Amino acid sequence: MAGPRTASLVELECRGVTGPVRMLRRRKGRSPRESLAEKRRRARKILRRLAAAYPDAKTALNFSSPLELLVATILSAQCTDTRVNQVTPALFRKYRTAADYARAAPGVLERDIRSTGFFNAKAKSLRRAGAAIATEHGGRVPDTMEALLALPGVGRKTANVVLGNAFGKDEGFVVDTHVGRLARRMGLSRETDPEKVERDLNELVPRGQRAMAAHRFIFHGRQVCHARRPLCEKCPVLPLCPRVGVA
């Protein structure tokens, strides 16, 4: 004779039994299976709670033009936004146009951005991107995903940052280390590749909400959902989070 059937996560949630749900989630260490429609509904609830928790979320990089934001975003790779913001005021006064970066003397631009790390590679990207913008786009940073991705040193993350924050175009989802970690931990994606994570998030978050959603994920990752010791007891989305990978 078969023993009593164990209730599923969905059944437990429908009954309002949250304690056992959390225990089961922690034990299995993975997110419950959901249909795409169910995941979209949960994602909407998560984003509403994050919106209430971080109403003033925005990019931490300081800029006053699309070119400045593009440069700052390139410099932010493997570097904190705080450090980038310390470097860019003098940099932006010295290099005012894309052509200025393109014709920067060897060693000079590298010295100007040295403290951001990986300065040789970043200087090469800035020179080449500056030359492309100056010669192919009349000195203006392009405002389409295709044209931005064609610039040397520009990937989807940088392109999404520029489009969403400098041009107000909500094309895709910015996926940095915080966003990738939260997407997996909240069971919104199982991927580790940023472009695949973005694909999953774009399926869940409609265009027009992605730029702001990314800002709120980043704020939440910095303040609460830390990589090693997330502050789950302070988390506004805990009831909606399967805590994938959290011991």
At residue 33, the pLDDT reads 81
At residue 30, the pLDDT reads 52
- List the chain pLDDT tens, one digit each, 247 residues: 444 333 333 333 333 434 433 433 443 445 558 899 999 999 999 999 999 999 999 999 999 999 999 999 999 999 999 999 999 999 999 999 999 999 999 999 999 999 999 999 999 999 999 999 999 999 999 999 999 999 999 999 999 999 999 999 998 999 999 999 999 999 999 999 999 999 999 999 999 999 999 999 999 999 999 999 999 999 999 999 999 999 8
Q: Which residue has the tokens 């997110």?
A: 31
Q: Which residue has the tokens 């302070």?
A: 234
What is the DSSP-derived secondary structure letter of residue 232? G
- Cα angle vertex 126, ends 156, 144, to 5°? 35
Number of domains in the chain: 2
Is 72 contained in some domain?
A: yes
CATH number at residue 47: 1.10.1670.10
Is 153 contained in some domain?
A: yes
Is 132 contained in some domain?
A: yes
Domain limit, last residue, from 116, 131, 166: 166
The residues carrying an active-site annotation are: 157, 176
Judgement on whether residues 70 and 41 belong to the same structural domain of the protein:
no
Residue 138 belongs to domain spanning? 66-166
Distance CA 16, CA 170 (A): 36
CATH number at residue 150: 1.10.340.30
Judgement on whether residues 181 and 212 belong to the same structural domain of the protein:
yes
